[in-house]
Chains A and B, each alone.
Chain A
């Protein structure tokens, strides 16, 4: 069956875009950037209030702004972008048309309406319940309704993605197995279905509760199921950004995966175990058994951590092997020194990989260790951790990918490439510092989601140590620097879309059939027989491991000094 559509082949990248899919990818990516812009403005309010010397907003505005910042960034910006990535990884990489484009537009409309309804509910007041909206604290019904509409839209988008896989398979637009990047996208979509289902299971009753239709939602059950939505949605990000790391390694270096088996196996571990992380948020809760906590918080037996440690080696490893084959073989690190550090697509991804591993990964395991969680739970260490995963890991990766998509997908020349070149460094390194000082303040016990660490006017005020104030000041300063980095990203991308010079993106095809890919030559494509192909990456991995082990046991030492608890 062929449907009237056209294809164009981008002369720069060789990617083939189907007309319908292209418009949807653009729409979702643009909506994502709009919410990143809103979330970024809100970030300024949060940062300038938590910076003790500035302490800008009033408490009611602060809690409102913090609620909207969390939802706009963690849900709307990221999931809109991920839907764009799903359509790209199916239609573009498999060289086929997008399944049911009308339904895909319906999904987009639902998501957009949901996001607007939810934002409106928060700005109107009466819904400053934070992203987590723990019952029995209630928001306006439209707060939940917005989230539900958005979730339904995203779910429909996932099924359009699955449908596109079917179209590609049926029309035989590729041979053999799907590409690794598409496999990673499938992982993300499977986790997304689980995530969104969990969200529906808990948000629909909560919405009914807010309307007065039912009279109780158990607070502990709410926490458990809400986090199957809240944490798993961050696992969609992990699967998505790791896929993009492989994609960038391929387009920047022409790198092949070191071995398909290892990388796909690691994605499979994500599918099997990543969803258990709801437990990370419940380790300090009553009512759950020790066995339940240990098994779930460790993703069964840290198998998902194992998967991330594997990707952390194989992505830079693939880059190293590709560089060595080009002749950069001197010493352990000539391949890295001679990498295209001026290309923001590469530098962004590399800064994301290192920050995600060293800052986000290690701190995540600390918080996810049952007993260590007691010295971290709900302190500002927690946002320190997830800014390292979701901002340094996911957001910076998405930014890097955008720089690649401006000429290929949007067919524009980038305005101000000089600014774009320094953007990943400014954004990435200020976020590194931001996460570190936040975790430092959290180690001293400073609370998250708290308007006034000075407890002004309270007779029982607790006086935090001076170092905690210093750290929170540094949090404010580094946040402002990072927000400037985010602003540059928005300026460059939106500016390029509006004013960038149009470039030739390849003519539309006359036929509505895709041009099939020439069958790849059957050459050995892994490096299994080469011995020790990526020694530099291996050394980096060992440095990571040593840092991990030291920090892990430092935390146990710290725990051993606190009150006895049993």
Chain B
């Protein structure tokens, strides 16, 4: 019962390893290095890396900017949602305001084109969970996160809030179109 007794050998650290342990440590170590390598590799060659571009902001500043932008690029009002549908130009900025309990406005993007998506919250933490592609980004108040996105399939997408944000959390869902 020696795991609950002091080691019998005083110089236990000099005891040689069994081959089972030695071999496994080498294999596990190599695998761990591969795990590190993959993250770096994907930054160099992968196409899905989360941007780190972030600015400190305030609820008022972000809302004012997003609303001015939306006014400029609104193309219609959505029948089902009642929200303005905003279609930004290729390579341009797109804004989504997360607040209790909605995402505003509805974006209309084009497949294969790239946009600079600005995300921030006006109140609590929210979750930007784009379905059904299943891309999930945390939205933190006071921080404007600029994520470059390139939709690769057209269709109607939903943005589900997946960070708990109070009693109306489960009603917080938005929409996004890709032409």
Question: Is there an interface contact between A258 and B18, defined as CB atoms closer than 8 Å?
Answer: yes
Q: How far is the CB of B127 from chain A (nearest CB, A)?
A: 5
| CB contact list, B129-179 vs A, under 8 A | 129-138, 140-145, 147-152, 158, 160-167, 169-171, 173-175
Question: Is there an interface contact between A257 and B2, defined as CB atoms closer than 8 Å?
Answer: yes
Question: Is there an interface contact between B158 and A564, defined as CB atoms closer than 8 Å?
Answer: no
Question: Is there an interface contact between B3 and A522, defined as CB atoms closer than 8 Å?
Answer: no
Interfacial chain B residues near A259, Cβ < 8 Å? 12, 15-18, 21
Question: Is there an interface contact between B32 and A566, defined as CB atoms closer than 8 Å?
Answer: no
Bound-state Cα–Cα, A218 to B171, Å: 26
Sort chain A's interface into a size bin.
35 or more
Question: Is there an interface contact between B8 and A450, defined as CB atoms closer than 8 Å?
Answer: no
Q: Which of B36-44, B60-68, B69-77, B89-97 forms contacts with chain A?
A: B36-44
Question: Is there an interface contact between B20 and A565, defined as CB atoms closer than 8 Å?
Answer: no
Identify which of B15, B46, B174 contacts A526 (C-beta below 8 A).
B15
Interfacial chain B residues near A180, Cβ < 8 Å? 2-4, 7
Q: Which residue of A lies closest to B16 (CB)?
A: A528
Question: Is there an interface contact between A565 and B148, defined as CB atoms closer than 8 Å?
Answer: yes
Bound-state Cα–Cα, A455 to B47, Å: 32
Q: How far is the CB of A32 from chain B (nearest CB, A)?
A: 21
Interfacial chain B residues near A264, Cβ < 8 Å? 13
| CB contact list, A280-295 vs B, under 8 A | 282-290, 294
Question: Is there an interface contact between B167 and A247, defined as CB atoms closer than 8 Å?
Answer: no
Question: Is there an interface contact between A137 and B43, defined as CB atoms closer than 8 Å?
Answer: no
Q: Which residue of A lies closest to B119 (CB)?
A: A286
Identify which of B35, B133, B144 contacts A563 (C-beta below 8 A).
B133
Interfacial chain A residues near B38, Cβ < 8 Å? 369, 552, 556
Question: Is there an interface contact between A285 and B140, defined as CB atoms closer than 8 Å?
Answer: yes
Question: Is there an interface contact between B173 and A565, defined as CB atoms closer than 8 Å?
Answer: no
Question: Is there an interface contact between A520 and B5, defined as CB atoms closer than 8 Å?
Answer: yes
Identify which of A60, A250, A560, A564 contacts B2 (C-beta below 8 A).
A250
Question: Is there an interface contact between A59 and B33, defined as CB atoms closer than 8 Å?
Answer: no
A313 at the interface (CB under 8 A from B): yes
Interfacial chain A residues near B52, Cβ < 8 Å? 286-290
Q: How far is the CB of B174 from chain A (nearest CB, A)?
A: 6
Question: Is there an interface contact between B6 and A137, defined as CB atoms closer than 8 Å?
Answer: no
A213 at the interface (CB under 8 A from B): no
Q: Which of A19-27, A302-310, A346-354, A484-492 forms contacts with chain B?
A: A302-310
Question: Is there an interface contact between B31 and A545, defined as CB atoms closer than 8 Å?
Answer: yes
Q: Which residue of A lies closest to B33 (CB)?
A: A301
Question: Is there an interface contact between B136 and A374, defined as CB atoms closer than 8 Å?
Answer: yes
* Those 6 A-B pairs whose CB atoms lie nearest each other, nearest first: A564-B150, A286-B145, A462-B158, A528-B16, A302-B32, A447-B162
With A260-B7, A545-B28, A565-B49 given, can you name 16 additional A-B contacts, CB distance below 8 Å?
A59-B167, A177-B7, A220-B140, A250-B3, A261-B12, A286-B143, A287-B54, A294-B39, A298-B36, A377-B127, A447-B162, A451-B169, A521-B8, A525-B8, A564-B150, A565-B147
29 CB contacts below 8 A, A to B, read A60-B167, A93-B4, A136-B124, A137-B166, A179-B3, A247-B4, A261-B17, A262-B17, A284-B50, A285-B140, A290-B52, A294-B39, A306-B32, A310-B25, A365-B35, A379-B129, A447-B129, A448-B162, A517-B5, A522-B8, A522-B9, A525-B12, A529-B16, A533-B20, A538-B20, A562-B135, A563-B150, A563-B152, A564-B149
Q: Interface of A with B (CB < 8 Å)?
A: 59-60, 63, 93, 128-130, 134, 136-137, 174-181, 218-220, 223, 246-247, 249-251, 254-262, 264, 282-290, 294, 298, 301-303, 305-306, 309-310, 313-314, 317-318, 365, 369-371, 374-379, 443-445, 447-452, 455, 458-462, 464-465, 517, 520-535, 537-538, 541, 545, 548-549, 552, 556, 559-566
